[in-house]
Structure 1
Amino acid sequence: MRIHCLQHVPYESPGAIRDWAAARGHSLGNSLLFQPDWNPHSLPSPGETDLLVIMGGPMSVHDQADYPWLTAEKRYILASLDAGIPMLGICLGAQLIAEALGARVYPAPEKEIGWFPVQGLPADQPGQIALPQHFVPLHWHGETFDLPPGTRRLASSPVCANQGFSLDDRVIGLQFHLEMQPQLLAGLIEHSQGELVTGPWIQSAEEMRTAAPAACQATQPVLEQVLDRLHRSAQ
């Protein structure tokens, strides 16, 4: 399977997604949108990609004035949706997909930063993907989205009703970071220290680091479940 990843900042890389792909013999290419010389013409055509992965980042979907490449990325996401390419969006990536599907993206009631529980919701029909009833992924987001038309809610939490959505189990958006690894978390903390203020849903850097090894290991099967389902959609 040919996987292509859209990456918005150097420190939010595919992480455990890369490990999953390597273990199964899939190729994984990257478009580093943050690089000054990045050219949207370098993006593969939809027919050259079996799975599109859209990573997170500190910017908003509305920040095109500050990040002009967002305009080209949004066009590419729309074209990939129209072509029926299976897709996974993580945090900002999920928000970009939600917007492309016609949903509103806006500030959440509270910023959510740290390892916090998420409730997976049951499938509507047999055979649909259903996340575990209870798991604890890493969150690092201050915005959320309405549930896009035609999708179903995959997960929820007390502070964020729409933690994830699925469109026919072919397009999946997740507010949280199942790809997280301890070294990725270290990069997030290093580059986003200013966000670690006192708040009901914000953990300290030390709390997050301490929990990371066990928490990353515990969420690995959830990531594999999502990616395996998208792999089946790509066949």
Structure 2
Amino acid sequence: MKTALVIRHVPYEGIAGFRAPVEAAGFVIDRIDVTDPEFPNVDFDSPDLVVMMGGPMGVYETDRHPWIGCEIARLARRIMLDRPTLGVCLGSQMIAAAMGARVYAGPVKEVGFAPVAITDTGLSSPLRHIADVPVLHWHGDTFDLPEGAELLASSDKYAHQAFRRGQNILALQCHPEMGEDPRFDAWLEDEPYIHAAGTSVEALRDDHGRHGSRAVEAGRRMIADWLARIDM
């Protein structure tokens, strides 16, 4: 039996559309929230797959969220062991930090559905499945590309949208898992953040209806492709 551990930083950012390809690949999924009293004791080494999801906090906000340092330390060991690991948004920033890269506030908030530009390396990777597909973005932080990582995608606002190290470590700043999950309504409650990004709840709802299903379909193909390539 293959095991997958989903690490959830807030209740409304779960595995969403990625659940289907992970389960189809034969993984039994378990989940833990960082607020769970048992989280500090979780062994990051043992699961066959770790999936780290998003959240509104910054990697550098360790004073407000003491669990961040503990999480990064255990993640760094998992990456050192080259154990299959997927990070989405905050999860990607955690991977970057665990690999020694700087994570910091970016110049703008990137919110809404838009395609990413896939690099030449990305076109031969699972990222090819989301080429030209509007996917959800929801972040204001970014990171330097970690040493030893390959850049897979960029956007017009942020150069570092996705990277990998080898076949087993994949980091996605964007959210190709979102587009059909009803928990998106919880995201829309943060109207100040949405307005600061220069968009509106109404525009996001409209784009979600127009692009969501296609984004999730492409995201599922991408994850299925990645899981078929990982070295267990």
Alignment of 1:176 with 2:174, yes or no, is yes
SS of aligned partner of 2:61: coil
TM-score (norm 1): 0.89
Q: Counterpart of 1:27?
A: 28
State the alpha-carbon separation in 2 of the partners of residues 122 and 226 from structure 1.
19
Alignment of 1:161 with 2:159, yes or no, is yes
1:69-88 residue pairs with structure 2 within 5 A? Answer: 69-88=67-86
Q: Is this contact kept in 2: 1:154–1:165, CA < 8 A?
A: yes
Q: Is this contact kept in 2: 1:50–1:234, CA < 8 A?
A: no
SS of aligned partner of 1:22: helix
State the alpha-carbon separation in 1 of the partners of residues 142 and 165 from structure 2.
17
State the alpha-carbon separation in 2 of the partners of residues 22 and 128 from structure 1.
21
Q: Which runs of 5+ in 1 are unaligned?
A: none
State the alpha-carbon separation in 1 of the partners of residues 92 and 66 from structure 2.
19
Aligned length: 228
1:4-43 residue pairs with structure 2 within 5 A? Answer: 4-35=5-36, 37-41=37-41, 43=42
State the alpha-carbon separation in 2 of the partners of residues 98 and 223 from structure 1.
23
Deviation larger for 131-140 or 15-24: 15-24
Q: Counterpart of 1:194?
A: 192
State the alpha-carbon separation in 1 of the partners of residues 166 and 209 from structure 2.
33
Q: Is this contact kept in 2: 1:151–1:165, CA < 8 A?
A: yes
Q: Counterpart of 1:114?
A: 112
State the alpha-carbon separation in 1 of the partners of residues 199 and 181 from structure 2.
15
Alignment of 1:221 with 2:218, yes or no, is yes
State the alpha-carbon separation in 1 of the partners of residues 224 and 74 from structure 2.
21
Give 1:127 shift. Answer: 5.7
State the alpha-carbon separation in 1 of the partners of residues 105 and 201 from structure 2.
23
SS of aligned partner of 2:161: strand
Distance 1:130 1:15, change over 3 A: closer
State the alpha-carbon separation in 2 of the partners of residues 52 and 225 from structure 1.
17
TM-score (norm 2): 0.90
Alignment of 1:206 with 2:202, yes or no, is yes
SS of aligned partner of 2:164: strand
Q: Is this contact kept in 2: 1:113–1:203, CA < 8 A?
A: yes
State the alpha-carbon separation in 2 of the partners of residues 77 and 167 from structure 1.
14
SS of aligned partner of 1:57: coil
Give 1:227 shift. Answer: 4.1
SS of aligned partner of 1:20: helix
1:51 to 49, 52, 59: 49
Q: Which runs of 5+ in 2 are unaligned?
A: none
Give 1:99 shift. Answer: 1.1
User: What's the % identity of the aligned pairs?
Assistant: 32
Q: Is this contact kept in 1: 2:48–2:83, CA < 8 A?
A: yes
Distance 1:39 1:50, change over 3 A: closer
SS of aligned partner of 1:89: strand
State the alpha-carbon separation in 1 of the partners of residues 51 and 12 from structure 2.
16
Give 1:175 shift. Answer: 0.7
Deviation larger for 225-234 or 149-158: 225-234
State the alpha-carbon separation in 1 of the partners of residues 24 and 206 from structure 2.
27
State the alpha-carbon separation in 2 of the partners of residues 24 and 165 from structure 1.
22
Q: Is this contact kept in 2: 1:153–1:166, CA < 8 A?
A: yes
State the alpha-carbon separation in 2 of the partners of residues 170 and 105 from structure 1.
21
Q: CA RMSD in A?
A: 2.0
Q: Is this contact kept in 2: 1:111–1:142, CA < 8 A?
A: yes
